[in-house]
Amino acid sequence: MKELKDLQLLIDNAVTRLNYPVYPAELYEPINYILSMGGKRMRPALLLMACDLFGGDVEKALPPALAIEVFHNFTLMHDDIMDNAPLRRGRVTVHERWNQNAAILSGDVMLIEGYKLMMQVEDRLLRVILDIFNKTAIGVCEGQQLDMDFEVRNDVKIDEYIYMIRLKTAVVLGGALKIGSILGGADMKDAELISEFGENLGLAFQLQDDILDVYGSPEKFGKQVGGDIISNKKTHLLIKALELADANQTIELNSWITLKQFVPQEKVTAVTSIYNTLQVRQYAETTMHTYADKAFEALEKINLPEENKQYLRDFADGLMVREY
Amino acid sequence: MKELKDLQLLIDNAVTRLNYPVYPAELYEPINYILSMGGKRMRPALLLMACDLFGGDVEKALPPALAIEVFHNFTLMHDDIMDNAPLRRGRVTVHERWNQNAAILSGDVMLIEGYKLMMQVEDRLLRVILDIFNKTAIGVCEGQQLDMDFEVRNDVKIDEYIYMIRLKTAVVLGGALKIGSILGGADMKDAELISEFGENLGLAFQLQDDILDVYGSPEKFGKQVGGDIISNKKTHLLIKALELADANQTIELNSWITLKQFVPQEKVTAVTSIYNTLQVRQYAETTMHTYADKAFEALEKINLPEENKQYLRDFADGLMVREY
């Protein structure tokens, strides 16, 4: 089996070989720009990994893997407009560097280019692969819409939150693994199982991210602690806290949420203190473990040699942090 | 052969049967809204017409025809954001009625839904149909980008303008006819010819539109005369006038173009007077006839019974106005 970092490198090199026209410049330059920003290339690497695990040729799976990466970057380009984000991976976003219209239209072209790449598969697989791609793409758009809807609601339930992050972040991991496995020769049963593995692992990973944002050590994870608290992001922790809070805690939480002027560290400390009292971290961890367990259960059912399953187990273990 | 108005009605009814989810509401309501605005359904009707002319079953061609209509409305939804348009067909645009983010994301979903509909063809035709669809879609995006680029340039050449309107408006007519003909059983040679017919007819039609905007009688065409002049739209007429103008005429044209406060009728009268002096209408008519001739030449080469060709000739004659 090929190592993950080698697969990521394969993608990185293939991305630089994507050759978009130079004219009209404002349409294609943003595409080259956002694709050159790098990132971990995790989604396309997962596609190649699944293909490899089922005995397929990763070179032949490169165009669909690139399709997933181009599609992912299309969603980033449009999400950044919607979220009004000035920066992405430390660099100026497309709508800021060019303008909003360029970001809309270049994003549209990326979605179409994603289809063109995804079509570079054998005829007999074309329809099944595109069906998965369509379903994944619609899911991601629905997830983004729900994420925006939830920003202006204070009554979001945990189930709704799980439903949203499943669509916004998990289905594309499942979809990438599913497509890769089919390209590698998996039957539909195994393709479904590896998709289930990826989707549930994606959920567990997102929940871990929620927890680490508050409880992770900044030295280890290189992120500002409490960023989600500062921006009122409706994570598992906040939703659970709003659900469990008594009258006084509700007032305190809502006053921090609505406050426009505040010292960030004070807000983080105060909200974290409520989280601690309500033990919301434990609830989030329980949910996280539920989905990690589901992922491992699906994995065990896949019809693959023990060695290949161990590869997937190691990969999942690597994603899930043991110490904070 | 089925009459055009019957094909348009078929589309209209099929559009109302498109059944999008109700949740998330802000994602799907704008899709139902823009599709319910009506319009002439000309692009999907052309697809059905080509299918019918080559002996195909128009009922089976309905999903790809709807794909063209959904795709077209996706471009309208995004173009309206980019053009900052408050109204479309007399009704409030999606980004105005909901918000910009809804218009971006609903448009994205429409593009994906377009692919889903376009895939409802026989396996043996799937790749060839999607290849045409991809090419058409990329062309339309490039055309929109060039149209925006040209707005801020004063040195656009006629050739560039033709290149732009070919992409922005003509390729989708050619693409619709090509897909329809293939679904009807045409070989690639005839599919290419009917596409050439449609693309060139589309160019001629757009050039006629440029001319009618200035020289058409408002009673006959129901449009405000001179709308393009008022908004400084770079039509064939204006581009040719800027090309032919002497020093004084250049100064006068540019002063009208840059003027922020003016009486509309005065601007229309003054610019039309320069157009008349420079005889730009004749130039535009010559170009228009060139493309109409190309359309008819392609038509004659199509391997279809005389009766079916006559249908296409009548259709083209109906589009091209004889009297202004």
Q: Amino acid identity, residue A206? A: Q
Sign of the alpha-carbon torsion through B119, B120, B123, B124: negative
Instruction: Choose, out of B115, B123, B160, the residue to mutate when testing the contact with A (most A CBs < 10 Å).
Output: B115
What pLDDT sits at residue A43? 97
pLDDT tens string A248-297: 999 999 999 999 999 999 999 999 999 999 999 999 999 999 999 999 99
| Backbone phi, psi, residue B145, to 5° | -65, -45
Decide: B191 and B302 in contact? Cβ < 8 Å.
no
Position B324 pLDDT exceeds 60: no
What pLDDT sits at residue A26? 96
What pLDDT sits at residue B38? 87
Measuring CA to CA, how many Å separate A229 from each of A224, A242, B279? 11, 13, 67
Per DSSP, the three-state class of A19 is: coil
* Closest-approach residue (CA) in chain A for B100: A82
What pLDDT sits at residue A175? 98
- Residue A187, token pair as written in the block: 């039957």
| Backbone phi, psi, residue A87, to 5° | -130, 150
A261 secondary structure, DSSP code = S
Q: What is the mean pLDDT of residues B60-77?
A: 98
How many whole angstroms separate alpha carbon A254 and alpha carbon A257? 5
Considering CB atoms only, which of B104, B115, B127 is closest to A134?
B115
* Closest-approach residue (CA) in chain B for A82: B101
Sign of the alpha-carbon torsion through A245, A247, A249, A253: positive
For helices A280-301 and A236-244, angle between their N-to-C axes, nearest 10 degrees: 130
Closest CA to B98 of A145, A234, A168: A145
What pLDDT sits at residue B223? 66
Q: What CA dihedral angle connects A253, A259, A265 and A267, to 10 degrees?
A: -10
Considering CB atoms only, which of A27, A130, A141 is closest to B27?
A141
- Residue B168, token pair as written in the block: 């922005």
Strand partners, A91: A88
How many whole angstroms separate alpha carbon B167 and alpha carbon B161? 10
Measuring CA to CA, how many Å separate B118 from each of A12, A122, B145? 32, 19, 24
pLDDT tens string B100-121: 999 999 999 999 999 999 999 9
The alpha helices in chain A, defined as continuous H runs, are: 4-17, 25-35, 42-53, 62-82, 94-97, 100-118, 123-151, 158-165, 171-184, 188-215, 218-221, 227-230, 236-244, 247-258, 264-278, 280-301, 306-319
Confidence of residue A154 (pLDDT cuts 50, 70, 90): confident
Residue B13 CB burial class (10 angstroms; 0-12, 13-18, ≥19): exposed
* Closest-approach residue (CA) in chain A for B124: A123
B126 interaction partners in chain A (CB closer than 8 Å): 126-127
Decide: B148 and B167 in contact? Cβ < 8 Å.
no
User: In Å, how far is B319's CA from the nearest CA of chain A?
Assistant: 30
What pLDDT sits at residue A222? 62
* Closest-approach residue (CA) in chain B for A137: B112
Measuring CA to CA, how many Å separate A267 from each of A38, B4, B178, B306? 33, 65, 61, 79
**Would the CB atoms of A134 and B116 count as touching at under 8 Å?**
yes
Decide: B110 and B70 in contact? Cβ < 8 Å.
yes
**Would the CB atoms of A115 and B130 count as touching at under 8 Å?**
yes
Q: What is the mean pLDDT of residues A294-320?
A: 96
Residues of B with CB under 8 A from a CB of A: 24, 26-27, 78, 81-82, 101, 104-105, 107-109, 111-113, 115-116, 119, 123, 126-127, 130-131, 134, 137-138, 141-142, 144-146, 148-149
Instruction: Choose, out of A77, A115, A146, A166, the residue to mutate when testing the contact with B (most B CBs < 10 Å).
Output: A115
* Closest-approach residue (CA) in chain A for B163: A24
User: In Å, how far is B220's CA from the nearest CA of chain A?
Assistant: 36
- Residue A251, token pair as written in the block: 């007032």
Position A321 pLDDT exceeds 90: no
User: In Å, how far is A24's CA from the nearest CA of chain B?
Assistant: 7
pLDDT tens string A190-236: 999 999 999 999 999 999 999 999 998 877 766 678 999 999 999 99
The alpha helices in A122-187, defined as continuous H runs, are: 123-151, 158-165, 171-184
What pLDDT sits at residue B323? 56
Instruction: Choose, out of B23, B27, B81, B132, the residue to mutate when testing the contact with A (most A CBs < 10 Å).
Output: B27
Q: Report CA B251 to chain centroid distance, whole Å.
A: 33
Per DSSP, the three-state class of A88 is: strand
What pLDDT sits at residue B322? 58
B24 interaction partners in chain A (CB closer than 8 Å): 142, 145-146, 149
A134 interaction partners in chain B (CB closer than 8 Å): 112, 115-116, 119
* Closest-approach residue (CA) in chain A for B107: A108
Confidence of residue B163 (pLDDT cuts 50, 70, 90): very high
User: In Å, how far is B269's CA from the nearest CA of chain A?
Assistant: 33
pLDDT tens string B178-189: 999 999 999 999
What pLDDT sits at residue A218? 75
What pLDDT sits at residue A156? 95
What pLDDT sits at residue B218? 75
- Residue A106, token pair as written in the block: 């270049």
Q: Report CA A203 to chain centroid distance, whole Å.
A: 9
Count residue pairs from A and B with Cβ separation < 8 A. 93
**Chain mean pLDDT for chain B:** 95
**Would the CB atoms of B119 and A127 count as touching at under 8 Å?**
yes
Per DSSP, the three-state class of A115 is: helix
Position B62 pLDDT exceeds 90: yes
Considering CB atoms only, which of A81, A105, A127 is closest to B141?
A105
What pLDDT sits at residue A225? 82
What pLDDT sits at residue B222? 63
**Would the CB atoms of B127 and A123 count as touching at under 8 Å?**
yes
**Would the CB atoms of A116 and B108 count as touching at under 8 Å?**
no
What pLDDT sits at residue B294? 98
pTM above threshold 0.90 = yes
Decide: A320 and A208 in contact? Cβ < 8 Å.
yes
Q: What is the 3-state secondary structure (H, E, C) of B34-86?
A: HHCCCCCCHHHHHHHHHHHHCCCCCCCCHHHHHHHHHHHHHHHHHHHHHCCCC
Sign of the alpha-carbon torsion through B19, B25, B27, B32: positive
What pLDDT sits at residue A105? 98
What pLDDT sits at residue A324? 56
* Closest-approach residue (CA) in chain A for B144: A105
